[in-house]
Amino acid sequence: MSKIANSFQEAQQAFLILKQQSNRDRTTFLEEIANQIELLKEELIPMAAKESNLPEGRITGELGRTVGQIRLFAGLVKEGSWVEAVIDHEDSERKPVPKPDIRRMLRPLGPVVVFGASNFPLAFSTAGGDTISALASGCPVLYKAHPAHPETSRMVAKAIQTAVGICQMPEGTFQHIEGGIDTGQELAAHPLAKAVAFTGSFKGGKALFDTCNKREIPIPVYAEMGSVNPIFVLEAYLSENLESAATAYANSLVLGVGQFCTNPGLIFVPKSHEAAFSSQVISQLKTVAGAPMLHEGICKTYHEALKNLAISEKLEWLLTTEANQLLIGNPSLAKVKASDWLNEEAFQEEVFGPFAIMVVYDSIAELEEVAVQLKGQLTCTVWGTSTELSGNKTFLNLLEERCGRLLFKGVPTGVEVGHAMQHGGPYPSTTDSRSTSVGSFAIKRFARPIAYQDTPEVLLLEELKDENPLQILRKVDGEYLR
């Protein structure tokens, strides 16, 4: 039996135990993972910073976010209502046929394969949102380590294994698997895998999606891939807020050397204010010192993407950068007319790094055309005065079709981890726009509803017992009750 087949056997055995555990067991386990990661802080922060080239301050923040989201899921599991319990009591008197007793709730799927991201060595990696939401739902995880931060990944994996030991969870609850593309493909194709979660490139995510759809039994793939996160700036708003809008935009574009999935790589500005706005943005970008990117491969890809775009005669370059320093990603900015943008698909592609295309538009009608043609995005942002927003509902209505999160203030970078967050938009930003990879709804990806009909009381799970021992919110005979 191959090593991976063996890992799946262990994961499956673990699953049969995990799915019978109480909310209390699972909560304690998640809390212990958070504690173990915090205990590692002193060694983990410098290691993640070294392997990712990200500053220690950023990694410190990311560690806080990572343990914060683990505790969010611990709280979610402890509270228990996420399982969407619904009870329809029987009615033996109903005519012409008696009504059966049906009780439905979400149950864990089984072993889940998680691919971590290079740009978040902690929060979207080994103990990141995908792993933790799968564990929270009761699924064992086979984690494919990202080669960009191997030691960080091993350290976090060890922390999870320690938590497994302390909480006496079954051995196959979490497994850390190292290898390349072949390993990733074998994991996704294995018959015991029940779902895949991924964050990374469109190419990688799409390849895994295709593999999983070609399986004898296809499985869901929750891949979070590329996005250019357009910001649409309306005229009156820009005339009132030119300076602050330029500063906010420039800061967001260069945050983390532009290596965020929510990086705003497209900005639409009205022709009337384009010159003043672009000159402000350029002067802000010129003050940004070039910083190292995650790894040489990502930096090389950044410069190659800029070189490919430079072939286009439609783009006017406002700020250029040279690929003369290994690892360093300097900001870069190009300009195009909206009518030209509409005719060139390449202007919609994600360039991973601090690069943006400024699209100059003539009218709202042109923006409506853009909204129709725009590919699926994680986020879309509209900066407008309240009069402009309420007067352009057709545009907003079209734009809503294209994104998972619609912002009317601030910038898309900085994804709040909470109950209402939606981090996942229409294809190709993700492979399943009905799901999120950030926030508590992420747990639902790894569960499926089961209806239990006329089940004897002794067999009912606590969530479905009449006395509601967990005091969770349930829909009972059509009414929400706790």
Binding mask 184-203 for ligand NAP (x = CB under 6 A): xx-------------xxx--
Q: Which CB sits closer to ligand NAP, 218 or 449? A: 218
CB 204, min distance to ligand NAP, A: 3
In contact, 197 and 113? CB cutoff 8 Å:
yes
In contact, 126 and 197? CB cutoff 8 Å:
no
Whole-number Å distance between alpha carbons of 212 and 197: 11
Could you tell me which residues are beta bridge partners of residue 270? 361
User: Would you give the DSSP letter of residue 117?
Assistant: -
CB 180, min distance to ligand NAP, A: 4
Task: Map the footprint of ligand NAP across residues 236-295, applying CB under 6 A.
Answer: 261
Q: Does position 204 bind ligand NAP by CB under 6 A? A: yes
Whole-number Å distance between alpha carbons of 310 and 347: 11
Q: Does position 224 bind ligand NAP by CB under 6 A? A: yes
224 assigned to active site: yes
Q: Return the exposure string of 417-436: e unless at least 16 CB atoms fall within 10 Å of the residue's CB, then b.
A: beeebbbbbbebbbbbbebb
Stretch that binds ligand NAP, among 3-11, 144-152, 228-236, 281-289 (CB under 6 A): 144-152
Q: Does position 428 bind ligand NAP by CB under 6 A? A: no
CB 286, min distance to ligand NAP, A: 25
Catalytic residue among 167, 261, 380, 403: 261
Q: Does position 157 bind ligand NAP by CB under 6 A? A: no
Helix (H) or strand (E) holding 404: strand 403-407
Mention every residue, 6+ apart, whose C-beta is less than 8 A from residue 178. Answer: 145, 147, 150, 153
Whole-number Å distance between alpha carbons of 474 and 482: 6
Q: Does position 396 bind ligand NAP by CB under 6 A? A: no
CB 179, min distance to ligand NAP, A: 7
CB 449, min distance to ligand NAP, A: 29
Stretch that binds ligand NAP, among 25-33, 66-74, 220-228, 395-403 (CB under 6 A): 220-228
Q: Which of 21, 81, 247, 301 binds ligand NAP (CB under 6 A)?
A: 301
State how far Cα 313 lies from the chain centre.
35
Whole-number Å distance between alpha carbons of 245 and 237: 9
Whole-number Å distance between alpha carbons of 461 and 465: 6
Sort strands 112-115 and 195-199 into parallel, antiparallel or unpaired.
parallel
Whole-number Å distance between alpha carbons of 131 and 109: 14
In contact, 172 and 10? CB cutoff 8 Å:
yes
Q: Which CB sits closer to ligand NAP, 108 or 184? A: 184
Phi, psi for 330 (deg, rounded to 5): -85, 155
Q: Which CB sits closer to ligand NAP, 48 or 208? A: 208
In contact, 306 and 269? CB cutoff 8 Å:
no
Q: Does position 356 bind ligand NAP by CB under 6 A? A: no
Helical H segments across 343-414, by residue range: 364-373, 386-391, 393-400
Q: Which CB sits closer to ligand NAP, 231 or 257? A: 257
CB 233, min distance to ligand NAP, A: 24
Q: Which CB sits closer to ligand NAP, 165 or 297? A: 297
Query: Could you tell me how many residues make up the chain?
Result: 482
Whole-number Å distance between alpha carbons of 137 and 26: 9
Stretch that binds ligand NAP, among 33-41, 94-102, 114-122, 245-253 (CB under 6 A): 114-122
Residue with tokens 């967001």: 252
CB 58, min distance to ligand NAP, A: 15
Catalytic residue among 31, 51, 62, 224: 224
CB 255, min distance to ligand NAP, A: 14
Stretch that binds ligand NAP, among 66-74, 113-121, 337-345, 457-465 (CB under 6 A): 113-121
Task: Map the footprint of ligand NAP across residues 37-56, applying CB under 6 A.
Answer: none
DSSP-assigned letters across all residues of 65-121 = HHHHHHHHHHHHHHH-GGG--EEE--BTT-SSSPBPPEEEEEEE-S-EEEE--SS-T
Whole-number Å distance between alpha carbons of 133 and 129: 6
Helix (H) or strand (E) holding 259: none
Q: Does position 298 bind ligand NAP by CB under 6 A? A: yes
Could you tell me which residues are beta bridge partners of residue 332? 355
CB 231, min distance to ligand NAP, A: 18
Whole-number Å distance between alpha carbons of 161 and 37: 11
Q: Which CB sits closer to ligand NAP, 80 or 226? A: 226
Stretch that binds ligand NAP, among 72-80, 222-230, 309-317, 443-451 (CB under 6 A): 222-230
Q: Does position 103 bind ligand NAP by CB under 6 A? A: no
Tokens of 212: 């999983």
Q: Does position 147 bind ligand NAP by CB under 6 A? A: yes
Q: Strand, helix or coil at 475?
A: strand
Q: Which of 146, 190, 445, 474 binds ligand NAP (CB under 6 A)?
A: 146
CB 101, min distance to ligand NAP, A: 45
Whole-number Å distance between alpha carbons of 403 and 38: 35
261 assigned to active site: yes
Q: Which of 15, 29, 115, 446 binds ligand NAP (CB under 6 A)?
A: 115
Q: Which residues are catalytic?
A: 224, 261
User: Which residues of the shown chain bind ligand NAP in the complex (CB under 6 A)?
Assistant: 115, 117-119, 144, 146-147, 180-181, 184-185, 199-201, 204, 207-208, 224-226, 261, 298, 301, 350, 352
